[in-house]
């Protein structure tokens, strides 16, 4: 367990100075650089004296495509702005290592191996019913303007990088990327989906982005004691309760816990007005489940053959006879 003594309490000036001096002592810097950085850091700490202290260990927020990643990104962006925490979001390429001087690191595709960390951390991991990952992804990719999705440059010359492939998949082998480009049949991902019937389009989504996302879910370590596990469906059903559970697990308490819940509540779908829902490109409706509308019997059989009992393993069904 990571110690939380003092977490959520304002820093005193002397503690701030000790923190800064210790950080600078560990790095090789010039005298002028030391003075400039010291002054900057002390100003930063003094300004935030009435804010909660920085987390005792970095908070890593891991999400998956069409599984609430935009929701979590917005919540933690607002939280860090309010609390004066340092925030970085990686929706594309995975960081090689934990970025320095970051309080909250967000990952749009859970594409950072936490087992590589040699320092304490706390984490949040958000998943969604894999069947809805496919259904929602299909609907979203028909209309999004994300560069990788509308890219029509299918040149296979290496290195194949974004936007020819999604940025978070740039680390895949060149052979894998060439196979992906070949599967588009001379079209962008979106053009390919639009050229197919709805049934064939869902199949295409299942064997492409749906597979990439679900495989990432399956590879996740669900037994990590430092990570609080959330399900998108549970968040929408009991927003305040799940936010409280998440923030308590991250170490917040008292008035800062209540303030964090208030901040998160501004992103609750159930509280949003119709105009905001209509104009947010990442929100398709208040409803979370749409897989039954898209997945035919043939799709369901193909899903089970490809992913086995994933919905049972993730707690969405009691058996694989759905």
| Prediction pTM value | 0.82
The pLDDT assigned to 40 comes to 63
CA angle 111, 225, 168 (to 5 degrees): 5
If you ran DSSP here, which 8-state letter would residue 319 be given?
S
Q: What is the mean pLDDT of residues 216-234?
A: 96
The pLDDT assigned to 291 comes to 96
Q: Is the distance from CB of 238 to CB of 288 less than 8 angstroms?
A: no
Q: Is the distance from CB of 269 to CB of 277 less than 8 angstroms?
A: yes
Nearest CA to 93 out of 24, 28, 172 is that of 172
Distance CA 56, CA 52 (A): 11
Helix 239-249 to helix 254-265 angle (10° resolution) is: 140
Confidence of residue 97 (pLDDT cuts 50, 70, 90): confident
pLDDT (tens digit, 9 = 90+) per residue, 229-268?
999 999 999 999 999 999 999 999 999 999 999 999 999 9
Distances 154 to 139, 182, 242 between C-alpha atoms, Å: 23, 8, 43
Every domain of the chain and the residues it spans: 1-51, 59-128+223-279, 131-218+286-313
Tokens at residue 316, please? 């969405």
* pLDDT surpasses 70 at 56: yes
Confidence of residue 12 (pLDDT cuts 50, 70, 90): very low
* pLDDT surpasses 90 at 314: yes
Q: Is the distance from CB of 160 to CB of 151 less than 8 angstroms?
A: no
DSSP states of 202-270 as a string?
HHHHIIIIIHHHHHHHHHS-TT-TTEEEEEHHHHHHSHHHHHHHHHHHTT--HHHHHHHHHHHHTT-GG
Fold of 59-128+223-279: Rossmann fold (3.40.50)
* pLDDT surpasses 80 at 127: yes
Q: Is the distance from CB of 151 to CB of 169 less than 8 angstroms?
A: no
Helix (H, G, I), strand (E, B) or coil at 124: strand
pLDDT (tens digit, 9 = 90+) per residue, 160-180?
999 999 999 999 999 999 999
Strand order of the β-sheet with 104-107 is 87-90, 104-107, 59-62, 122-127, 227-231
């Amino acid at each position: 367990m990571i110690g939380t003594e003092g977490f959520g309490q304002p820093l005193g000036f002397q503690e701030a100075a000790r923190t800064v001096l210790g950080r600078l002592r560990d790095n090789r810097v010039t005298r002028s650089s030391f003075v400039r950085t010291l002054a900057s850091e002390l100003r930063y700490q003094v300004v935030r004296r009435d804010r909660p202290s920085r987390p005792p260990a970095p908070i890593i927020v891991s999400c998956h495509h069409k599984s609430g990643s935009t929701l979590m990104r917005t919540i933690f962006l607002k939280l860090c702005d309010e609390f004066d925490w340092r925030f970085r979001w990686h929706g594309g390429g995975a960081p090689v290592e934990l970025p320095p001087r970051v309080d909250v690191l967000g990952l749009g595709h859970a594409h950072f191996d936490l087992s590589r960390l040699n320092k304490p951390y706390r984490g949040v991991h958000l998943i969604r019913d894999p069947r809805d990952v496919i259904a929602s992804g299909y609907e979203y990719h028909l209309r999004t303007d994300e560069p990788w999705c509308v890219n029509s440059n299918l040149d296979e010359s290496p290195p194949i990088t974004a936007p020819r492939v999604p940025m978070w998949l740039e680390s895949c082998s060149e052979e894998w990327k060439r196979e992906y480009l070949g599967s588009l049949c001379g079209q962008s991902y979106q053009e390919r989906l639009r050229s197919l019937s709805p049934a064939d389009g869902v199949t295409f989504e299942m064997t492409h982005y749906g597979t990439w996302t679900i495989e990432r879910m399956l590879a996740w370590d669900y037994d990590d004691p430092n990570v609080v596990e959330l399900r998108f469906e549970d968040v929408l059903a009991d927003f305040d309760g799940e936010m409280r559970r998440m923030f308590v697990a991250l170490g917040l308490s008292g008035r800062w816990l209540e303030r964090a819940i208030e901040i998160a509540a501004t992103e609750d779908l159930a509280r949003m007005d119709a105009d905001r829902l209509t104009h947010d490109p990442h929100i398709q409706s208040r409803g979370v489940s749409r897989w039954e509308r898209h997945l035919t019997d043939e799709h369901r059989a193909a899903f089970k053959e490809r992913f086995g009992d994933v919905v049972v393993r993730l707690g969405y069904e009691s058996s694989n006879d759905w």
